[in-house]
Structure 1
């Protein structure tokens, strides 16, 4: 789904048509979802019901107009309900509104200072754990209401009292709650055309109609009393430390939840990305307004935002309109709210609370070993309280991050020739010295040791541990050969040079582009456990050992650098170029074009030939590559790159003498006949170094014309959607030339 990226203030006929076609229907869907949720969250927060509706209106209109996300929907958030409930009990409702207003001022200042990105430094495990803990607390508290009782003061008391509630309460309220939950659970199994109607509204409607039809005794919602008791915010009284802490908690929790929601919603559409600083400013203004009007704090809500995107919203007008619909409903149809049983809203909150414990987050966190942070934060929120649980989670996340950053691995293995190979990886700090010294002292005295330091930091304690061990080992008759793969931490410390405390990214291995033959002499081949060698036959030829040594070197040096990049490309490639070149071993496309993974879709064959469409002998390999590149990958450029001293062109120029005994090569070179004819008919432009060099250049131009025989290529070329480029690589001078025709002329790049 693509969002509208035009200016927010630009009204054109097309823009109005887009709003009417996409945003208006989406706003109605979001309104139907937001209305019952706003009422339910007000109940869970211990606030007047009107406060939920006010927050829904302000979140839609104010945050929608001023925020930095075009499709995010803001409103009262279940994750803030515990904070609000605690503030209402401690300071009263009107003072809580003032705290919300002040929290909005703080959010506005943070947004103006452009610090929104820093809020994303909070571990998602803490945020998800907090929301899960809030969900558990809400579910336990509202389950008592569903069962016809009253919620207790804490989650533990609610859990302890739950069996008694189940045993002794069997009123109509229980039936209403069970009916609501049943509809919510069963709604996901209904046909898609029925599920267009939001499940929360359907559940409340079913419960209300059933309770009215059967005459059940239930607790009704009184919105008029909530509106009559409206008053302006007042300054909270009490310890000013607690008031400041309350403002900070509301501002930070609402802000972080909104920003994380913006980032998550960006993944659901392909339009303009969120401006997080603007989003924080919009949330701040919205909280100032909702606090002044007596509403709940607002934040970006993932449920409503996801609904908005899936309903087809294209711009922020869907969010704004949904707030307008809530306002119109409260003013004109507010009497209908009185038909909703309070127990049905409680059941809706139980369902929402259970959904907030998202198992999908656990699966995502498991791969990063952050499940303990999630579980501890959730348990802390349930057992200790929201602020305490978040602090405990943040503390554990910081400790785990410190452990990862200072983790050191030491692997010592004995080689068949009696040498020992030791690989030390990670960040060498004083915390890793015990492990380091234990492993090093296990090496037999007098042994020859190859010590690889694959580290990104070394403090003085770690340096002294290695340095002292090295001197002791060498005094005992052994030898230690230290090889630093990245920065020279040990060498700098040993020389007395200043060691900078900042970590530096790993450097690419020196002279990685050299052939194996140039690196083999005097080089101790890198080892890596990921490449097995015991089943590889070893002969006199260095080819296999060189290949395996290269793979080990890749695993050790290059793989850590490119792994994050390749991980993002693992499921899809998006090259911009089809690069056709010769199979000659001296031509390295990524080297001569300074390109990386994902840039070039490469086709290599003898002579960089492109058989004309329908020519004999047929070659489906080349045709299939061209088809896939232009149709499936939508490349924007096709480059044919020839080179000097091409063996295929030399064989073509020999008139068949050099292909004697090579029948397959002779048949393949028939595709070069047009090149040969063009060579005979043309004349030298004075830039070549003889007939072979001119033929190699002519061949590139001919292959570009051969590409035009493919209808898809010709059509894209004529439409200006595809560019054909001829390149020539002079091996002797290591120069790349761009060929221009006609006549064949070249200019160095």
Structure 2
């Protein structure tokens, strides 16, 4: 119960948010208002106890209002409750068969488009209630009738609605201690208080006896095919929203990770209980879940307690609901409906070229229906995925040495064979071709197309050299080996780390190699790392400060198998670390140490030396080596303490010993920086020495300075 001091206050905050939202959703769905409170209690208690998420809060959700409203109009409320029970049973079965992950295959663009469409429909319908009228049977009818409704609007009812929306808008800009009261609750309280104070003519809500007046669910009448479709629709929509909400909140808390199958089964049981008690269908709700997390919830007991508070409120204080004007609830729904159209979601889907999915789903939901709009969005998503499979690009470039370089990119399936064949046939007969296959898959039809073109091209006097960048699909197929299920043989490492002189294009002019290298990066590496660099574009969070030599043979990311964003790197001649306040001074290394320890808060500082270091060789050979290089001579004075530690042996055979001693000395120099010394002693920072033997391509850990190592003067810094 140690977490109760966090979960108890969080549950009260969520309770204050849940009550007005639950009433509003019941109003929009055309269900009894008590059904919203029953669903909130069942979702909180049952899904909280049996679900797989520690912080998710379940209850009635706005995304199902259209489906529930249609079911209520067609079958009646008691039959809708039975459909809710059966939908819960379907969810329990799906969870038992570990089907939860399948729901995550739905494109977020379709989900956001569905929510936006539902929000617009709710806003248009409830706007009529705010204006003193009644909602029409469809979104289009609500839009057409809106001008007439505005002309005949009722003064007091409109004033209550305007007041509610105004409070909701202003509340977000108030000081933090005032915003501790949830905005929906504050808006309804102010609207109710103002209407009571001025005796406005508004529509009142009466829940007298509604909670205790229970009636059993009844069998729906009609074609069971349509009823089964309604059950599946409620089960899948509620389940998908719960699971997507669960995944969305994963990164917002530090508690245990969610069990999606257990969550889906828990939601199913909660729906069965809610339907049996006369409540709305329930699902994980993102608004309540994020409120729960921000309020400091640690475990599922926050959700459970929130359900308990809703239940106690409904049983003991339900009479207070009649003080809330119906128009205030409608205004709250208008506000919530408009807020579902998130520009942030639009920007995200635009970044992935999925705006058509969003718009088609939203438009279909508004104009046709919820199920039809979602199916239209899913169908378009499937078509776009199929189109991507047909997208094959062939880039051709004439090399200075007369060779033709061609790169095939994409997924090579039979769908892309026509375009691929057309591009390959434009290559002149007799040309010497270097063909790179930058592909993630190749089926038999694509192999036949490339192989037939190659044989024809070589028969006409040309040559073709094929290089597969990621796997060996072509080579395996050409050799007659099985491509599936056998795994492709290990492929030699990529080309990016090879020196220019070892590559196929080594004849390229020296001055062109950098630009050619950049082109190769754009073609091969950038597509694989673009998503990583997109994340890193916001800020860097390296865990290591890596200090090494400027020697061209040392590649920190290669010898440490690190990637972008891992190492904060400092390179200089001799991998030297001047002592704090030393002469000659050097602000470059000191600034990097200061920034790494005070801003980046790195965990490790590594000094990496290497065999055959030219800087250490210059120290061994004496001042004559740096004659005519005054700046280098001044810089190498920082290496004198390392040379002194070598003792009297000053021949070239002791060069690598000096290189290792130099690493140890620089680790010692790091301790002269107050921040480094403080963090090392506190255990928050670790100093590591590495030595790279170039000849054997081995990285060794250099042990800290011990008595076995030749002594270094106690005051090495000058």
Could you tell me the TM-score, scaled by structure 1's length? Answer: 0.87
Which residue of 2 is the match for residue 700 of structure 1?
Answer: 663
Q: Distance in 2 between matches of 1:743 and 1:38?
A: 73
Bigger mean CA offset, 264-273 vs 128-137? 264-273
2:620 corresponds to which of 647, 653, 662: 653
Which residue of 2 is the match for residue 713 of structure 1?
Answer: 676
Change (3 A) 1:509 1:567: farther
Which residue of 2 is the match for residue 6 of structure 1?
Answer: none
Q: Distance in 2 between matches of 1:735 and 1:506?
A: 22
Which residue of 1 is the match for residue 699 of structure 2?
Answer: 736
Q: Distance in 1 between matches of 2:438 and 2:410?
A: 7
Which residue of 2 is the match for residue 668 of structure 1?
Answer: 635
SS at match of 2:252: coil
Change (3 A) 1:505 1:345: farther
Check whether the contact 2:202–2:325 (CA below 8 A) recurs between aligned residues.
Answer: yes
Cα deviation per residue 1:450-488 (whole Å; 9 max; x = unaligned)?
Answer: 543322233344344445555555666665554443334
Q: Post-superposition shift, 1:550?
A: 2.8
Q: Distance in 1 between matches of 2:490 and 2:294?
A: 42
Q: Distance in 1 between matches of 2:57 and 2:447?
A: 54
Change (3 A) 1:94 1:418: same
SS at match of 2:105: coil
Change (3 A) 1:70 1:449: same
Which residue of 2 is the match for residue 459 of structure 1?
Answer: 443
Which residue of 1 is the match for residue 260 of structure 2?
Answer: 276
1:164 corresponds to which of 133, 148, 167: 148
Check whether the contact 2:574–2:615 (CA below 8 A) recurs between aligned residues.
Answer: yes
Residue 185 of structure 2 corresponds to residue 218 of structure 1: no
SS at match of 2:701: strand
Check whether the contact 1:509–1:558 (CA below 8 A) recurs between aligned residues.
Answer: no
Residue 589 of structure 2 corresponds to residue 622 of structure 1: yes
Q: Let me know the Cα RMSD of the aligned residues.
A: 3.1
Check whether the contact 2:670–2:676 (CA below 8 A) recurs between aligned residues.
Answer: yes
Q: Distance in 2 between matches of 1:636 and 1:184?
A: 45
Check whether the contact 2:127–2:331 (CA below 8 A) recurs between aligned residues.
Answer: yes
Q: Distance in 1 between matches of 2:476 and 2:700?
A: 43
Which residue of 2 is the match for residue 532 of structure 1?
Answer: none
2:131 corresponds to which of 141, 144, 147: 147
Check whether the contact 1:100–1:287 (CA below 8 A) recurs between aligned residues.
Answer: yes
SS at match of 1:729: strand
Check whether the contact 2:472–2:488 (CA below 8 A) recurs between aligned residues.
Answer: no
**Contiguous gaps of at least 5 residues in structure 2:** 711-718
Which residue of 2 is the match for residue 635 of structure 1?
Answer: 602
Q: Post-superposition shift, 1:287?
A: 1.6
Q: Post-superposition shift, 1:732?
A: 2.6
Bigger mean CA offset, 271-280 vs 330-339? 271-280
Q: Distance in 1 between matches of 2:162 and 2:562?
A: 62
Change (3 A) 1:195 1:399: same
Bigger mean CA offset, 496-505 vs 540-549? 496-505
Change (3 A) 1:430 1:615: same
1:335 corresponds to which of 298, 301, 319: 319
Q: Distance in 1 between matches of 2:164 and 2:529?
A: 52
Cα deviation per residue 1:563-591 (whole Å; 9 max; x = unaligned)?
Answer: 33333333333333333222222222333
Residue 207 of structure 2 corresponds to residue 240 of structure 1: no
SS at match of 1:226: coil
Matches within 5 A, 1:114-129: 114-129=98-113
Check whether the contact 1:583–1:606 (CA below 8 A) recurs between aligned residues.
Answer: yes
Q: Distance in 2 between matches of 1:720 and 1:467?
A: 61
Change (3 A) 1:151 1:507: farther
2:23 corresponds to which of 22, 39, 57: 39
Check whether the contact 2:389–2:415 (CA below 8 A) recurs between aligned residues.
Answer: no
Q: Distance in 1 between matches of 2:424 and 2:691?
A: 54
Matches within 5 A, 1:517-536: 517-519=501-503, 523-524=504-505
Q: Distance in 2 between matches of 1:434 and 1:490?
A: 18
2:519 corresponds to which of 539, 542, 552: 552
Residue 85 of structure 2 corresponds to residue 101 of structure 1: yes
Residue 375 of structure 2 corresponds to residue 391 of structure 1: yes
SS at match of 1:587: coil
Q: Distance in 2 between matches of 1:412 and 1:592?
A: 34
Q: Post-superposition shift, 1:210?
A: 3.3
Q: Post-superposition shift, 1:494?
A: 4.4
Matches within 5 A, 1:491-530: 491-500=475-484, 509-510=493-494, 512-519=496-503, 523-524=504-505
Check whether the contact 1:508–1:558 (CA below 8 A) recurs between aligned residues.
Answer: no
Q: Post-superposition shift, 1:267?
A: 3.3
Could you tell me the TM-score, scaled by structure 2's length? Answer: 0.90
SS at match of 1:580: strand
